[in-house]
Each structure stands twice: as C-alpha cells, then as structure tokens.
Homo-oligomer: A and B are copies of this chain.
Amino acid sequence: MFIKSLGEFELIHRLKDLLPPSGPDVVVGIDDDAAAFTPGNDLSLLSVDAFVEGVHFDLRLISFRQLGWRLLAANLSDIAAMGGIPRLAVVAMALRGDLQVREVEALYRGMADLAERFDVAVVGGDTTKSPDRLFFSLAIFGDVARERLALRSGACAGDAVLVTGDLGRSRAGLRVLKSGKAQWLKRFDAAVSKYRTPVPRVEEARFLVERFPVHSMIDISDGLASEVHHLCQASTVGACITAEDIPIGLQTRQVAKLNQEEALQYALSGGEDFELLFTLPYDRSLEVAGALTDEFDLPCTVVGRIVAPDKGVKLRQGDKEVPLQATGFDHFKA
C-alpha cells in the first residue's frame, strides 16, 4: 500500500506502534506538540543531523531498515563524542507519496532496533511530503554530568591522539556496494555492514570519560584528517599524526587495492566510520588502549601527538612530515 493511500495520520499511528515503549522519564511522547521528559544529568545535550537522498544515501545501496539504523547511529555518535548518554530522538521525514507503507515502517524498525539497543526513546517528529527527493532529519537529546563532558577544545600539547576501531572501513564498504559485484558483497561483509549499520561508540565513550582524563574528543564522521583539524582548531594546538600507526583493517586494504586506491586515503578522508578520536596525557595512552580493548574487544590505537600550535597539523610518513590536508567532505566545494 502507498502512503498516499493510507494518509498522514494513519501512517503516524502505525509507525508509533513500531517503537519500543518509552521509560518512566518520558511524560509525553509522540502524541503531543512536543515530547516532555525529565532532563536527567546536570548538563543537557542537543544535536541535529540532516540526510538527503542522493547526497547522504542511495536506496539502491541501502535498505530502508538499514537506513533507519544509520540515521540514528549518526546522531548517537554525536552524543557519544560529548561523553554523553543519548536519551531521546525526534525524527522529521519528507516522504514521496508513492513510497510503500512497509518501506517507511522498515525505516522505523531500523531506528527502533538501534534505539532499543541503546535505550533511546524515539518520541515523535514531523511527517511531511516531498514531491521527489527524500529528506530525513533527526534531533537527539542526551545528558551528561558536567565533569564528564568531553569537548573538542580541551587538547593540550603533549597529549596522545587515539582512535577507536579501525578507519576507512565505511568508505571501503561503500566502494564494494557501488561496484555492484555480488561476490565482493560476501567477501567484504565487514566493510559493507560498517557502512550500512555502524555501531556508534556510545558505551566506549562513556567508559573513557568515566575512567580516564580525556582532554578532548570528537567522532570521526568526515574522515580522520578533517576531524584532527577540527579538534586542533578548537583547542588551538597542532598535531602530528603517524601514517603507519593509523589502524586500517584487512578488508579495507583489500578493497582499496582492488580499486587501485590508497587505503590510507580511505582512513584520512573517507567519512562515516563513527569511531572516536580523543586525546589524553601521553603517559596514560597505553593503559587506556588496553582497557578499551579488554572491556569492549575493540582496538584503540595511538596515532599521534598533540604539539604546539605553531607546529601546525602534520602527517608523518616514514621520515617525512607533510601538512595533513583536511580532505574531509565539504558539501559545497565537493
């Protein structure tokens, strides 16, 4: 059935039933002009992201259910990067009338899958029409104790620069999907699922800010190079990143090779890995990497050091140091 046959209000009614019940902290959810809830910790967090068909996603490469997951994952990653606990999400959708009801339901199911995993309530939003291009926007509310808040701006010269997981895998997954080669999809399944259903590092970020003196943190949504620049700019510091130390997985290397591309470039400028980039005093860096691996079975790697601002932002490759180009995606210049 088309959503235009069902109508806006009946559609909203159906979607509501797909969401996990919200906890006692939510006084009113999807049924009123706004959601009402108890705020929790002493600091509140708020973020919004937009997702445009043909720019952020292509429905030939991702299912509606995976897309729903991915939209929420990007938002959760923003809250994680602040050291926060995601609590509630609201979603705005501009939909074509000829979408199937089951397609929109699948999108909500994908959101519900991830929402349930992180105990996030999806509490409403706005459902409207687009004549052609699909648009989604998610806003997320979270909270954090003031002493746990992790900003981009706290990095100090001497800090170690660390990243969770491995980088460039999402880009590799996208390359596999765009190739259209069925055997690649199977062979590079880990890359493909990193692209389609990334798991935001919410628990890992909480663990970090609770146990370690994290000076600064940001999530990697635009590629390592761009995020290092954001962090250095906000903190008024420089950085030196060591190319050989950037963690790149086997599948990422293989996909890059098959495409005659540099795996390093996937890591530096491929976006949407949703890993964490953070800094803390160098003498704690081995300890934190070990703790994160022990607790979450997730690699955590020192990739460089924060230096004085006049040293700039550099990439060390072998014996050479070159300026690290902020090659992340610029939406308008791209």
Residues A35 and B47 in contact in the complex (CB < 8 Å), given A137-B137, A149-B27: yes
Contact assessment for A92 and B43 in the assembled complex, using a CB-CB cutoff below 8 Å: no
Contact assessment for B128 and A331 in the assembled complex, using a CB-CB cutoff below 8 Å: yes
The 0/1 profile, CB within 8 Å of B marked 1, for residues 210-239 of chain A is 000000001100000000000000100000
Binds B, one of A6-14, A111-119, A257-265, A297-305: A6-14
Chain B residues with Cβ below 8 Å from A127 are 331
* Interface residue ranges of A9-51 to B (CB < 8 Å): 9, 11, 27-28, 31-40, 42-50
Q: Is A284 an interface residue (CB 8 A)?
A: no
A: contact size bracket: 35 or more
Q: Count copies of this chain in the complex.
A: 2
Report A334 CB to chain B, min CB distance, Å: 8
Chain B residues with Cβ below 8 Å from A332 are 3-4, 6-8, 11, 95, 97, 129
13 contacts between A and B (CB under 8 A): A27-B149, A35-B46, A35-B47, A36-B45, A36-B144, A36-B151, A48-B139, A49-B126, A52-B129, A52-B130, A132-B133, A133-B135, A135-B135
